Amino acid sequence: MAPFITSLLLFSAILVHGSSAAFDYGSALRNSILFFEGQRSGKLPPNQRVKWRGDSGLSDGNDVGLNLQGGYYDAGDNVKYGLPMAYTITLLSWGVVEFGSRMRAKNELSNALEAIKWGTDYFIRAHPQPEVLYGEVGDGDSDHSCWQRPEDMTTPRTAYRIDASRPGTDLAAETAAAFASASLAFRQSNPAYSGELLKHAKQLFDFANKYKALYHESIPVASSFYHSSGYNDELLWAAAWLQRATGEKVYLDYLGNQPLGTGGTRSEFSWDDKFAGAQALVAKLVLEGKVGNNGIWEDYKKSVEQFICSCIQKGNSNVRRTAGGLLYWRDFVPIQYVASSMLLTTAYSDYLANAGGSLQCPGGAARPDDLVSFARSQVDYILGANPRQISYMVGYGNRFPQQAHHRAASIVSKAKDPTPVECKEGFNKWFNSQAPNPNVMVGAVVGGPDENDGFADQRSNVHQSEPATTTVGPLVGLLARVALVIPS
């Protein structure tokens, strides 16, 4: 009983006195960006730092006569899903747009831009015509029936697209948001590339707005894995990013003339629900006095502020938390919802600070610093300030998950053993092994704990042990914001 009491007292002290000094956010930031190199598909570049990975997916696009190499595998599998990949790139870009100076102070801005570019280069190839977008390569059912490193894939690499006859509003609009936000991220360092990204963003927004349909109706193989609940959020999200990137009145008018409204107060901000993100970007315009604080503009601002109030536990309907303090939305990959909501919260804290404002919540006022402090508490939980005293980021700290549900990490690298791993052989030899993964997937953030702060470090425990780009994408900017070193 004594060790348990000691641990409990230690954890209580962390909660009471704060734990900022215990964590190296700069190291965690470096790790989080490095994770994306481990997720790369395609021909790896000479400066690849994750050496246990090799070239993969080199035939992607051959079936449609295109080069669809590149991009990212979404999680622990070997499929390239367009919707979560685009969302990931949008949030990576948002982090750079808001907190790029902090990344530069940590010498990580160039790496963050490279992570974005690996995604946007792929999207450019996947968007060969204004009204054609390839939204998936491979399919989950066949991929999940095998356990192979991406370098050995024997599963079909079919390319699936949306077009005028088989549209996908949500997919096209989210990819437009990715292009538009990335164009802002590259505006200073690479103006020509920024302009190219903006051209694709405008074309895809027009395509999304012209033909209305859920993307998984046109790409049915995506339905079981990334089933979209709607597309109005993506349209507003894309329009908000295009307005910010261009300043053109057409996008402001689109945001201000919404017969279906602003989405109201949301219960989450995620790859499937971007309303709160769009609301935050529009609320920034309100705070800057670029639009009025009335009518639909007031609705945008009020809705996102109510969402943030609920996150920081000052709302009328607060987001539930574990006993250890982690915000908790869902059992499947719970940390991804924490990371995205806290990126939004920290971005909004700066919008408020720049306007000299504060958040007026039902549970009391919250200053911009209060929002950052709450977000930091969530980051600290992820990095180890939790009842289990485990870092949920692989490669960070002295104790972190050893059996992340990840094909490439769980199989010995081709550099050490070039023998191909067959489809079923991977399950028998590697998936079912109780040994730690032979490759340390630095920066991977696993799904996270259950609602009682419990965690089982088992490869088969997919809900808790699988890392995903949608989790780490927002975490990059969030870590940059909570870092204690302020650039001069």
Contact 170, 82 (CB under 8 A): no
Contact 404, 459 (CB under 8 A): yes
Q: Which of 180, 200, 171 is nearest to 242 (CA)?
A: 180
Q: Could you give phi then psi for residue 73, rounded to 5 degrees?
A: -75, 140
Q: Name the token pair of 288.
A: 């800057």
Q: Name the strand (E) or helix (H) holding 364.
A: strand 364-366
The half-sphere exposure of 270 on its side-chain side, counting CA atoms within 13 A, is 21
Q: Which of 465, 468, 469, 400 is nearest to 431 (CA)?
A: 465
Q: How does strand 80-81 pair with strand 132-137?
A: antiparallel
Q: Which residues are catalytic?
A: 405
CA-to-CA separations, 11 to 17, 24, 174, 382, 398, in angstroms, rounded: 10, 18, 40, 14, 16
B/e letters for 310-344, b = 16+ CB within 10 Å, e = fewer, are bbbbbbeebbeebebbbbbbeeebbbbbbbbbbbb
Hey, how many other C-beta atoms are within 10 angstroms of the C-beta on 369? 12
Q: In what order do the strands lie in the sheet with 132-137?
A: 80-81, 132-137, 159-163
Q: Which of 291, 288, 304, 298 is nearest to 343 (CA)?
A: 304
d(C-alpha 478, C-alpha 347), whole Å: 9
- Within 8 A by CB and 6+ apart from 481, the residues are 95, 98, 99, 102, 343, 346, 347, 350, 372, 375
3-state secondary structure 130-167: CCEEEEEECCHHHHHCCCCCHHHCCCCCCEEEEECCCC
Contact 393, 25 (CB under 8 A): no
- Within 8 A by CB and 6+ apart from 342, the residues are 311, 374, 375, 378, 379, 474, 478
Q: Name the strand (E) or helix (H) holding 277.
A: helix 275-287
- Within 8 A by CB and 6+ apart from 111, the residues are 30, 33, 34
